[in-house]
Amino acid sequence: MPTFTEAATVQAWVREARTIAALTGAGMSAESGVPTFRDAQTGLWARFNPEELATEAAFRANPQRVWDWYASRREMMKDVAPNAGHQAIAAFQRRHPGRLTLITQNVDGLHQKAGSTGALALHGNIFEDIWLDPCAGARGRAGICDVSLAEPGRPPHCADCGNPLRPGVVWFGEMLPAGALAAAEQAADHCDLMLVIGTSGAVYPAAGLAHTARQGGARVVVINPEPSELDGVAHALLRGKAAELLPALLND
């Protein structure tokens, strides 16, 4: 059974760990002002139906609606700044090269803005555009149309074949990027300590990485102000906000 733990205990675990994996979710960015998905009042999925916005079928059925929703989220996120939690992880990585593998479900790019390198972005990047289908419009080079050649629109599309652009995020029912997932599984399996930060643990395969870490012999710590679905996997629970706890935990 996990126990509610003093931050000082986890600080000591951080110092002892040769390798650390950090798995982050939307709560990591909450104090930067980015809404989470499943918080009861403020989460995006409390106000919007993911079936209508975060699946390939939804995009094919109503591309303009889905494009506009992601465009409004991009607009909201583009000037948002990393918080003290993102900064603490990035600073730890700079002080201890190669010791902390960062695995994130977030698509907001805030870890990267804070200076974290090598973040494994399991759910993609909201600022990237990709073709919905492989596009081989006549204006493309080497048979594949360059995204930058898309005609403006909602969504932008290939002038030759009409193929639309879509946001480069992983939707429900889609595969995660294979390389990032394999690297994340490897890091989870081999780490001495896994920090599970600001995620409800409701979405797999990302949440499964905490189980992998536990089975691989790592200590697992959940950092979250609320109960999460991964509490039962953890050795220790720190009930608090990421931006408040991480600077002290990672001050080694």
Residues that are catalytic: 123
Q: Residue with CB nearest ligand OAD?
A: 27
Instruction: Identify which of residues 80 and 202 has a Cβ nearer to ligand OAD in the complex.
Output: 202
Q: Which residues bind ligand OAD (CB under 6 A)?
A: 25-27, 30-31, 36-39, 43, 105, 107, 123, 169-170, 198-200, 202-203, 224-226, 228, 241-242
Query: How many Å apart are CA 57 and CA 69, to the nearest integer?
Result: 15
Amino acid identity of residue 227, one-letter, is P
β-bridge mates for residue 220, sequence order = 194
Choice between 187 and 197, CB closer to ligand OAD: 197
Q: Least distance to ligand OAD from the beta carbon of 151, Å?
A: 27
Q: What is the DSSP letter of 32?
A: G
CB neighbours of residue 148 within 10 Å: 7
Min. distance of Cβ 186 from ligand OAD in angstroms?
Answer: 20
Q: How far is the CB of 138 from ligand OAD (least distance, A)?
A: 33
Coil, helix or strand for 220? strand
Cα–Cα separations (whole angstroms), residue 12 to 17, 128, 244: 9, 39, 18
In whole angstroms, give the CA distance from residue 237 to residue 228: 10
135/203 with CB nearer ligand OAD = 203
